[in-house]
Chain A
Amino acid sequence: DVKVTQSLRYLVKRTGEKVFLECVQDMDHENMFWYRQDPGLGLRLIYFSYDVKMKEKGDIPEGYSVSREKKERFSLILESASTNQTSMYLCASKDSRAGTQYFGPGTRLLVL
């Protein structure tokens, strides 16, 4: 089975702090994604990566950056957290050929 791991399930930060969320997948997938989930809005794509050190902006990249130094690991960075970034963050990975994305359990971030 594909496993996508987000080790932090809950995180509380203060406004202006740096936030680092990590995602690890164990299936050698080329493509990885970061989404945020908000009630009534579904999931919105923040950034994605199609290879090591390669990244593309999604629909809502403002206030976020990403890093992909190794194929299995895709990190989401909030350089200076703001209260409007309080949300559930979901990571996903996908084989470059297949259509199915596999999701991690999510990290619920609260910015005070």
Chain B
Amino acid sequence: DAKTTQPTSMDCAEGRAANLPCNHSTISGNEYVYWYRQIHSQGPQYIIHGLKNNETNEMASLIITEDRKSSTLILPHATLRDTAVYYCIIEGYGNKLVFGAGTILRVKS
């Protein structure tokens, strides 16, 4: 299974863009990059996923480098409610969704 490396924690000012990096240098050609977040004491919530191209939805944008060895999740206008642990996950064979340590994002007013 491909491993991911994320910063332990990040701070972001409310209203500014939050850019969360993830390294996944051992990713295989057909493995997707997924992002989930977990707000305190709740179940994880899906944010976005992608294979090669950049993706955008109502929550965030996902930028994947051309060599696919890293990606960045962008929350365009962070709010206090975006404070959470953000997990970058490479989904393994057989729906194997394995969480790494994640990044604690603190949005501050």
**A, B from the same assembly:** no
The interface of chain B, by Cβ under 8 A from chain A, is none
The interface of chain A, by Cβ under 8 A from chain B, is none
